[in-house]
Amino acid sequence: MSSAAGSLRPVIREETSADIPRIRALTRAAFDGVAHSSRTEAAIVDALRAAGALTLSLVAELDGKTVGHVAFSAVRIDGRDLGWLGLGPVSVAPDLQRRGIGSALIGEGLARIEAEGAAGCVVLGDPAYYARFGFGTEHALRYGDVPPRYFQSRRFRGPSPSGEVAYHTGFEAT
C-alpha cells in the first residue's frame, strides 16, 4: 500500500523456512554493486541461521512478495554476553529502496528486541541514517579499527557497557 510520500507499508513478519531462498536472493541483489559491501551478506545470514544465532529475522512483504529482510544476532562485549544484539544485514529489493521498507523493518525489529528484554543494540553503518532510530556514538564501545562515527549503539536498559564488541563468527562467512 502506498502513501502520498511514496513510502510503502509492507507486512512485516518473522521468517519461515519457506522464506530462506527468497531472503538469500534478495540479500544478494540488494548488495550487488554497493561500494561498501563485501558481497558476503547472504552468506552471513545463512551462517547465522545455520548456527542458530539469528535472534530475530524479519521479512517484509508487499502483495505476497518478499521485498525486505533484517537480521539481529547476539554480540559479545569484552567476551561477555551482556544481552546486546547487533543489527544487520538489512536488505531491500533494489527497485524498492528508499521507500521506507528498510525503516519499517528496523523499527519493528528494534521494538521487538526491546520488548523481549535486549539491553541494547549496535550497528555499523551511516550515522545520518541510523540516528533516526535512536542510535548514536555517545558510548564506550569499540569495533576493531572502525572509525567511531560509523559504529553506533542504542541502549534499552541497564548500564551503558564499555569494551570491544565481537559479532558472531557467522559474520566471517564468505
pLDDT beyond 90 at 50: yes
Number of domains in the chain: 1
Give helix 41-50 / helix 20-31 axis angle, nearest 10°.
150
Q: What range does the domain containing 54 cover?
A: 11-172
Per the structure block, which three cell numbers stand in for 26? 534478495
pLDDT tier for residue 8 given thresholds of 50, 70 and 90: confident
Q: What are phi and psi of 145, to 5 degrees?
A: -100, 20
- Whether 4 maps to a domain, the answer reads no
- Taking only the tens place, the pLDDT of each residue in 64-88 is 999 999 999 999 999 999 999 999 9
- Whether 98 maps to a domain, the answer reads yes
Could you tell me the CATH number of the domain that includes residue 116? Answer: 3.40.630.30
- Whether 166 maps to a domain, the answer reads yes
Q: What angle do CA 41, 126, 58 make, to 5 degrees?
A: 45
The closest alpha carbon to 54, from 82, 25, 88, belongs to 88
pLDDT tier for residue 6 given thresholds of 50, 70 and 90: low
- Whether 1 maps to a domain, the answer reads no
In angstroms, the Cα distances linking 156 to 10, 48, 77, 116, 128 are 26, 23, 16, 11, 20
Please give the average per-residue pLDDT across 107-130, as a whole number: 97
Asked if 58 and 70 touch (Cβ cutoff 8 Å), the reply is yes
- Whether 41 maps to a domain, the answer reads yes
- Whether 2 maps to a domain, the answer reads no
